[in-house]
């Protein structure tokens, strides 16, 4: 099975702390590397995670609050100093494009590569990126500014070859791709060999949903149904539910309700308020509703 990993670079909220960096993650899928959000210190965390800067092909920004995007210009500048030549794609709310262009003119003139901006409509559920192995889809969220999450969904792969059967029927190597794609085989004697005798089922397609800053949305689970891994903000515990409502954030219990209703396989809590020295309170709260819950922390690598 090809690698599908989520690297937590930062999982704190807006107030800086000595414990957590602001929001940033890396999604690694089939040798492709994508970044989600880019708070301050993201490139320092890239170094600490030993993720090669040159492999990051795109950045997906959830919304335009500083703790999710203040690290962008430093990252773009560093790419230039490293001699990058491949385009760097930025997916973000449309309002960010003139700001990004202005900042690049001031701080990043003469880059040796192109920064390609892709405006995102945060109010619509839509595929914004697609290649042969995956799609990235927006998840409309409800925050104080336009905001969306992102759903990384692996495409279904081909079946696995049964080497013993290939050898038994003397099928040439040139035909293996056709067999993987579902073709049957006809022997020299005219016998037709069904594909399911020559192959084993493909690995199940995997999915990861990143739900950035949002108030509790009772209908959100319908867009997350059955995902393998869900990251959901959990800024507060249940005793601060009114504060969460005022600032359009979620409690750990509310994140767990979304995970339970969506029937996801695993939940990761993040975006912790600076008020918590020990987030185990949030973990315990969530696990009473959705037991398969873990806390994010810097340096955590999660296999999807």
What are the distances in angstroms from CA 153 to CA 6, 49, 135, 255? 13, 23, 5, 21
Listed residue (154, 189, 193, 191) closest to 175, CA to CA: 193
Through-space distance between the first and last CA atoms of the chain, rounded to whole angstroms: 11
Query: Is the separation of the CB atoms in 227 and 191 below 8 Å?
Result: no
The active-site residue, picked from 37, 67, 228, 237, is: 67
Listed residue (32, 45, 42) closest to 5, CA to CA: 32
Listed residue (66, 76, 86) closest to 107, CA to CA: 76
Range list of H helices, the chain: 42-48, 66-69, 72-81, 96-107, 163-169, 176-180, 195-198, 241-246, 252-262, 280-287
* 228 has catalytic annotation: no
How many Å apart are CA 100 and CA 106, to the nearest integer? 10
How many Å apart are CA 286 and CA 234, to the nearest integer? 9
Query: Looking at the DSSP assignment, which residues form a beta bridge with residue 88?
Result: 115
How many Å apart are CA 86 and CA 112, to the nearest integer? 9
Torsion of CA 73, 65, 37, 40, to 10 degrees: 50
Query: Which residues are marked as active site?
Result: 67
């Amino acid at each position: 099975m090809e690698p599908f990993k989520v690297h937590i670079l930062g999982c704190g909220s807006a107030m800086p702390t000595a414990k957590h960096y602001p929001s940033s993650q890396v999604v690694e899928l089939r040798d492709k590397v994508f970044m989600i959000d880019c708070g301050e210190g993201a490139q320092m965390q890239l170094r600490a995670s030993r993720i090669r800067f040159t492999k990051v092909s795109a950045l997906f920004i959830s919304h335009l609050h500083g703790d999710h995007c203040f690290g962008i210009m430093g990252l773009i500048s560093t790419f230039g100093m490293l001699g990058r030549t491949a385009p760097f794609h930025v997916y973000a709310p449309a309002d960010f494009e003139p700001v990004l262009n202005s900042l690049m003119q001031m701080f990043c003139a003469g880059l040796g590569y192109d920064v390609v901006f892709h405006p995102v409509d945060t109010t619509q559920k839509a595929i914004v990126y697609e290649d042969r192995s995956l799609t990235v889809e927006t998840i409309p969220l409800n925050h104080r500014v336009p905001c969306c999450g992102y759903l990384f969904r692996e495409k279904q792969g081909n079946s696995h070859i049964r080497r013993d059967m290939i050898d038994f029927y003397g099928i040439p190597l040139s035909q293996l791709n056709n067999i993987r794609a579902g073709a049957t085989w006809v022997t020299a004697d005219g016998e037709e060999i069904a594909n399911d005798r020559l192959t084993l089922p493909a690995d199940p397609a995997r999915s990861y949903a990143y739900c950035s800053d949002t108030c509790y949305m009772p209908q959100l689970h319908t867009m997350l149904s059955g995902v393998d891994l869900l990251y959901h903000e959990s800024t507060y515990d249940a005793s601060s539910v009114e504060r969460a409502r005022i600032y359009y954030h979620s409690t750990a219990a509310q994140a767990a309700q979304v995970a339970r209703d969506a029937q996801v396989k695993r939940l990761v809590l993040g975006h912790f308020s600076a008020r918590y020295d020990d987030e185990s309170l949030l973990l315990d709260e969530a696990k009473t509703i959705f037991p398969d819950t873990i806390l994010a922390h810097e340096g955590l690598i999660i296999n999807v």
